Amino acid sequence: MTDFFTTVPGPIAYEGPDSDNPLAFRWYDAARTVAGRRMEDHLRFAACYWHSFAWDGSDIFGAGTLDRPWHREGLDPLDAAKAKMAAAFEFFEKLTVPFWCFHDRDIAPEGRTFKESAALLDEMVDEAQGHMERTGTQLLWGTANLFSHPRFQAGAATNPDPELFAYAAAQVCHCLEATHRLGGQNYVLWGGREGYETLLNTDIGRELEQLARFLAMVVEHKHRIGFDGLILIEPKPFEPTKHQYDFDVAAVHAFLQSHDLIGEVHVNIEVNHATLSGHDFAHEVAVARAAGIFGSVDANAGDDRLGWDVDRFPVSVEQMTLGMYEILRGGGFDSGGCNFDAKLRRQSTARDDLFHAHIGGMDTMARSLLAAAAMLEDGELAGAVADRYAGWDDDLGRRIMSGEETLPGLRDRALGVAEPGRTSGRQEALENLVARYVERAR
- Is residue 143 near ligand XLS by the rule CB under 6 A? yes
Site string for ligand XLS, 183-202 (x = CB under 6 A): -----x-x------------
Q: Supply φ then ψ for residue 117, to 5 degrees.
A: -65, -40
Closer of 207 and 270 to Ni ion (Cβ): 270
Closer of 90 and 309 to ligand XLS (Cβ): 309
Cβ–Cβ under 8 Å, residues 143 and 102: yes
Considering only residues 44 to 103 of the shown chain, the ones binding Ni ion according to CB under 5 A are none
Q: Kindly tell me the sign of the dihedral angle through the C-alpha atoms of 368, 370, 374, 377.
A: positive
Least Cβ distance, residue 46 to Ni ion (angstroms)? 11
- With CB cut-offs between 5 and 8 Å by kind, which of ligand XLS, Ni ion, none does residue 143 bind? ligand XLS
Q: Give which of 369, 367, 273, 359 is closest to 47, Cα–Cα.
A: 359
Name 306's bridge partners: 303
Least Cβ distance, residue 381 to Ni ion (angstroms)? 29
| Cβ count near 310 (within 10 Å) | 16
Closer of 52 and 364 to ligand XLS (Cβ): 52
Least Cβ distance, residue 412 to Ni ion (angstroms)? 54
Closer of 177 and 309 to ligand XLS (Cβ): 309
Q: Give which of 217, 219, 218, 204 is closest to 251, Cα–Cα.
A: 204
CA distance 194 to 244: 6
With contacts defined by CB under 5 A, name the span among 106-114, 144-152, 265-273, 346-354 that binds Ni ion. 265-273
Considering only residues 266 to 285 of the shown chain, the ones binding Ni ion according to CB under 5 A are 270
- Residue from 309, 338, 369, 375 binding Ni ion (CB under 5 A): 309
With contacts defined by CB under 5 A, name the span among 73-81, 165-173, 333-341, 407-415 that binds Ni ion. 333-341
Number of residues engaging ligand XLS in binding (CB under 6 A): 10
Considering only residues 261 to 320 of the shown chain, the ones binding ligand XLS according to CB under 6 A are 270, 298, 309
Least Cβ distance, residue 191 to ligand XLS (angstroms)? 9
Q: Supply φ then ψ for residue 430, to 5 degrees.
A: -70, -35
* Max intra-chain CA distance, the chain: 86
CA distance 54 to 81: 9
The catalytic site residues sit at 103, 106
Considering only residues 401 to 440 of the shown chain, the ones binding ligand XLS according to CB under 6 A are none
Least Cβ distance, residue 308 to ligand XLS (angstroms)? 10
Judged by DSSP in three states, 235 sits in: coil
CA distance 202 to 158: 10
CA distance 335 to 269: 14
- Residue from 236, 253, 266, 283 binding ligand XLS (CB under 6 A): 236
| Cβ count near 267 (within 10 Å) | 28
Closer of 48 and 366 to Ni ion (Cβ): 48
- Residue from 93, 246, 264, 341 binding Ni ion (CB under 5 A): 341
Dihedral angle of Cα 81, 85, 87, 89, to the nearest 10 degrees: 180
Least Cβ distance, residue 188 to ligand XLS (angstroms)? 6
CA distance 78 to 15: 39
- Is residue 104 near ligand XLS by the rule CB under 6 A? no
Q: Kindly tell me the sign of the dihedral angle through the C-alpha atoms of 427, 433, 436, 441.
A: negative
Q: Are strands 138-143 and 99-103 parallel, antiparallel or unpaired?
A: parallel
Number of residues engaging Ni ion in binding (CB under 5 A): 4
103: which DSSP letter? E
- Residue from 194, 234, 248, 363 binding ligand XLS (CB under 6 A): 234
Cβ–Cβ under 8 Å, residues 252 and 271: no
Cβ–Cβ under 8 Å, residues 38 and 31: yes
Least Cβ distance, residue 276 to Ni ion (angstroms)? 9
Q: Kindly tell me the sign of the dihedral angle through the C-alpha atoms of 273, 277, 278, 282.
A: negative
Cβ–Cβ under 8 Å, residues 175 and 104: yes
- With CB cut-offs between 5 and 8 Å by kind, which of ligand XLS, Ni ion, none does residue 326 bind? none
Q: Are strands 33-34 and 37-38 parallel, antiparallel or unpaired?
A: antiparallel
Closer of 26 and 343 to ligand XLS (Cβ): 343
Considering only residues 338 to 377 of the shown chain, the ones binding ligand XLS according to CB under 6 A are 341
Closer of 97 and 371 to ligand XLS (Cβ): 97
Least Cβ distance, residue 413 to Ni ion (angstroms)? 50
Closer of 106 and 341 to Ni ion (Cβ): 341
**Contact set with ligand XLS (CB under 6 A):** 103, 143, 188, 190, 234, 236, 270, 298, 309, 341
**Contact set with Ni ion (CB under 5 A):** 270, 298, 309, 341
